Structure 1
Amino acid sequence: MNMLAQFQQNQKTMSSREIAQLCEKEHFNVKRDCEVMFKGLKLDALKFEGIYLDSMNRQQAEYLLDEELTMTLVTGYNIVLRNRVIKRWKELEQGVDLNNPIQLRDLLLGYAEKNIQLQQQVAILEPKAKGLDRIADCTNVLGIRESAKALKIGQNQLTQYLMDHKVVYRDQFGKIQAYQKSIDQKLVHVVTSAPRLCGSGEKVFTQVKLTQKLITRISAWLEKGVAA
């Protein structure tokens, strides 16, 4: 659907081409930024695609964004570029008189407050998102090797960290064992194997596995640099 059709349906949009002009960027770079945004928001890019004719009368693709998506896109650009887009959007939306300093100041202050709030939300959510990325592959309980892989740290580093924080210890044979308090707090789970026939008779083997609770806690510590 082209831009004219969009406006005929009373849906105000700003094209990726116009954003590129306002932000002094190549159109293909702005289109790429749009596609990254669509992917992050789980939106179908085709729903926002429009067609225009280039200087050689060839059909080319662009994206048509509403106000929310436009502001989301340019939040990552510098303040001068964001300011240009904000001014242009207000022209489209309200026919703003840019020569009226009082009206313009009020509008810009409003958007500045929105941008500050958005940045504060990002600052709060980003560490949590990073932590979730670390444990995205974790389900139920994992061995130390698998936990280290999910947390993206070395196995020895994780083992030492668990020992330093009194979660596990090494017995006289050098085997990792769990403290009872760690089991009681559901930080670890001890898995016992079925009896196996050995040279000295039947034996059972145990393995310490980390629970989701502990992996999540370690992930939070890592993001704060505690375990670095």
Structure 2
Amino acid sequence: MSALMKTTAALTMSSQEIADLVESRHDSVKRTIERLAERGVIQLPPLVDVPNHQGQIVSVYQLGKRETYVVVAQLSPEFTARLVDRWQELESQQAPAVPQTMAQALRLAAEQAEHIEVQEAQLREAAPKVAYVDRYVAAQGAMGFRQVAKLLNAKEPEFRAFLEDSKILYRLGGVLTPYQNHIDAGRFVIKTGVSESEHAYAQAKFSPKGVNWIAAEWAKHRVALAVVGKQVVA
């Protein structure tokens, strides 16, 4: 199983891959990570559910480079060389290719210029839609998820996935709930009450400020998808 995760921020290595590198049990590696975190040697990394080679879901820790060295040094120092080799391999995969000839450099410059042009064109196309959202929200006030999806002409499953992947909303008891930082930013209003069956409820809606903000974020998301799609076709 490839247990590496490549992100825009940093590369990480999973506790499962560390176990494979040092030829140890995964549960032993996880306990070592937890003990080191309890002692304050490292911060406890996030726990992520991933499929293994048998298609089963397992929970793994995702560690940064420093944390992996600390853990491997604790588990089995003689395997440090393997860890160094693996990080070099991982980082070389992430490093951008450097043009080796003038022709390659010119082609790279042309591709970057085309990338910028596509983004600018998509943003120009999205601008009137965002302006329309501003006017509509000013008249309507707070809006629910489906209203906003309809306003943005977005398919509900795609829009819902975008909100969850972007850490804007999460599911709490089956209900889409905003993260606290977005509530604090004034992008949502929470309406509470008691239903006819005497059950208390809380309903989150996009505030006018939140609708304007999410319209701009959705436009940028669509631009990014369009650019990626154009590159794949090319």
The question of a shared fold, defined as TM-score above 0.5 by the shorter chain, is answered with no
Between structure 1 and structure 2, the one with the greater Rg is: 1
* TM-score, length-scaled by structure 1: 0.39
